[in-house]
Structure 1
Amino acid sequence: MSAHDQEKYLNKLKGANVLVIGGTSGIGFAVAEASLEYGAFVTVSSSNPERVHKAVAELQAAYPSRKDRVKGYECDLGEQATLDANMRGLLERVVDDTGRKIDHVVHTAGGGGLLEGKLAEMGPGDILGQPVMTRFFAPLMLAKHAPEYMSPGPRSSITLTSGVIAMRPMRGGMASIQSAFAAGLIGMTKGMAMDLAPMRVNLVLPGPVDTPLYDPLPEAVREGMKAQVGGTTLTKRFGRPEDLAESYLACMKDENLTGASLETNGGISLV
């Protein structure tokens, strides 16, 4: 009889029930791919039903032997009036359809783009729009409902997403607002880790990364920006979603990690 190697590390996500909010493109889609490769059951969500359908189809085509492990649902988290109910409804649907509680939630949803404009022209209503609702207030509603729909204990986790602008604001008319909410997620993560313990809560802070967020820009502008900004990193390139996904995997798999903020930015915060 031949001996078998142990698989202490490979199987940490095997059979886990993973929800990726914003998992239809970019970093979230890469996290969904990686979770499937590690043997998890994966649900992706987005406010755009066409993107949900497309992402589910792409994941099932890429992993045909695991296509029954992939689900996707539309969920709009960008409107203040419906945010609470929609977050609860998403969690409830995942639990009902999978027949078990959720083990890990990864929140990468971007809210349809970046805040634009100048601070001098903004009022509270302009600031508290779709991007801020999706990126900042949706995680709070997730924490509100997590104890009811997620598995208890340190094997379960929530991983949020901020950005390098939390430590290194960019010049421009929106630097104050963007950096305030990005940095606020660091404090939120620590507070949620306290409130939801022993469930774990962590934060990933990406730097420049090649995602569809930049697709609305003209191709020449987009490629020029990637070359210019990528050249300022220590790695001399834009980040790739499949690289950044590794940080989210670490947050899910390390049962001793909570209240932490992981930077994955090519060293741009150092230069």
Structure 2
Amino acid sequence: MQAGNLKDKTVLVIGGSAGIGLEVAKIALELGAAVHIGARGKTGADKLSGATYHVCDAKSDASLQALFETIGKVDHVAITVHESAARLGIDTTADKMNLAAVMEYCDGKFLSQYRVIQAALPHLAADGSITLTSGVASRATMANHSTISAVNAAIEACARQLAKEQAPRRINVVAPGVTATTTYDAMKPELKEQFVQKIAALVPLKRIAAPEEIALAYVFAMQSGYVSGTVLDASGGQLVA
């Protein structure tokens, strides 16, 4: 296998209409891949020349099955779907936690990724890869993140098991730190700014991430044929802060 060669490979990005996923799609296109983007709505994806856009919902088995039947064989799948913890109000302490909202978060982030895996496997190349998304809260202690960290940790634990189960296909996870995406837009502007400043002060690099920086980790997971069952941290050093 030629390291770094995505030319003529088929890459699917689920959740690729904006943010990190859109940046993954852009890089894959630059590297010569045939890029497909699956998302619930159009933002930047429909403006990405060269990519094929598909409307799909990772919460729907039927929608995902139809997507993969349309695309056919896939070499690499990157899954960047998420739910906003701020929108759901689960970035709070245990005594105030709404468990119904936690279940919605789990469905949107963990189970949606698992649904994509199930739909992808019949179409995934024998030497293909799937890259999931967790978050730095899986292993970093952060205020008001008890359920958020649990969901992220579940994704990482699942990937380790799948990497063995599905070998020689490769399963990896990218664990981003706080990134400048729409994830935190549900917060009041002043609270969002306080949160960003707090994280930036904590992280050794003294800033939050840009989406294109995190996207490089997904592309590395596709390119490196000897990386599997691995969590790629892109947290600015937060885990050693």
Give the alignment's TM-score, normalised by structure 2.
0.90
Q: Is the 8 A contact 1:77 1:133 kept in 2?
A: no
**Displacement after TM superposition at 1:220 (Å):** 4.4
Aligned pair partner of 2:12 in 6, 9, 19: 19
Asked whether 1:213 is paired with 2:183, we answer yes
Opposite residue 74 of structure 1, the aligned amino acid is: V
Once residues 178 and 225 of structure 1 are traced to their aligned partners in structure 2, the CA distance between those partners, rounded to angstroms, is 16
Asked whether 1:105 is paired with 2:77, we answer yes
Could you tell which deviates more after superposition, 13-22 or 209-218?
Answer: 209-218
Structure richer in strand, relative to its length: 2
Q: Is the 8 A contact 2:136 2:177 kept in 1?
A: yes
Partner of 1:86: 63
Q: Is the 8 A contact 2:20 2:211 kept in 1?
A: yes
Asked whether 1:265 is paired with 2:238, we answer no
Q: Is the 8 A contact 2:13 2:25 kept in 1?
A: yes
Report the number of matched residues.
237
Q: Is the 8 A contact 2:83 2:109 kept in 1?
A: yes
Equivalent residues in 2 for 1:42-61, closer than 5 Å: 42-48=35-41, 50-51=42-43, 54-57=44-47, 59-60=48-49
Asked whether 1:152 is paired with 2:126, we answer yes
Give 1 or 2 for the bigger CA radius of gyration.
1
Once residues 89 and 119 of structure 1 are traced to their aligned partners in structure 2, the CA distance between those partners, rounded to angstroms, is 39
Once residues 229 and 43 of structure 1 are traced to their aligned partners in structure 2, the CA distance between those partners, rounded to angstroms, is 33
1:103 aligns to what SS in structure 2? strand
Equivalent residues in 2 for 1:27-46, closer than 5 Å: 27-46=20-39
**Displacement after TM superposition at 1:122 (Å):** 5.1
Aligned pair partner of 1:165 in 137, 153, 161: 137
Among all aligned residue pairs of Structure 1 and Structure 2, give the percentage whose two residues are the same amino acid: 30
Aligned pair partner of 2:167 in 193, 197, 203: 197
Once residues 56 and 113 of structure 1 are traced to their aligned partners in structure 2, the CA distance between those partners, rounded to angstroms, is 27
Partner of 1:3: none
Once residues 186 and 148 of structure 2 are traced to their aligned partners in structure 1, the CA distance between those partners, rounded to angstroms, is 19
Q: Is the 8 A contact 1:21 1:108 kept in 2?
A: yes
Q: Is the 8 A contact 2:3 2:225 kept in 1?
A: no
Asked whether 1:225 is paired with 2:195, we answer yes
1:106 aligns to what SS in structure 2? strand
Partner of 1:255: 225
Asked whether 1:116 is paired with 2:93, we answer no
Once residues 121 and 202 of structure 2 are traced to their aligned partners in structure 1, the CA distance between those partners, rounded to angstroms, is 42
**Displacement after TM superposition at 1:196 (Å):** 1.4
Once residues 126 and 220 of structure 1 are traced to their aligned partners in structure 2, the CA distance between those partners, rounded to angstroms, is 23
1:128 aligns to what SS in structure 2? helix
Q: Is the 8 A contact 1:204 1:261 kept in 2?
A: yes
**Displacement after TM superposition at 1:215 (Å):** 2.8
**Displacement after TM superposition at 1:94 (Å):** 2.0
Indicate the structure whose relative CO is greater, using CA pairs within 8 Å and at least 6 residues apart. 2
Partner of 1:64: none
**Displacement after TM superposition at 1:75 (Å):** 1.4
Asked whether 1:137 is paired with 2:137, we answer no
Once residues 123 and 29 of structure 1 are traced to their aligned partners in structure 2, the CA distance between those partners, rounded to angstroms, is 31
Could you tell which deviates more after superposition, 220-229 or 114-123?
Answer: 114-123
Across the aligned residues of Structure 1 and Structure 2, the Cα RMSD in angstroms comes to 2.0
Opposite residue 126 of structure 1, the aligned amino acid is: A
The structure-2 alpha-carbon separation of the partners of 1:122 and 1:267, relative to structure 1 and needing over 3 Å to count, comes to closer
Partner of 1:72: 53
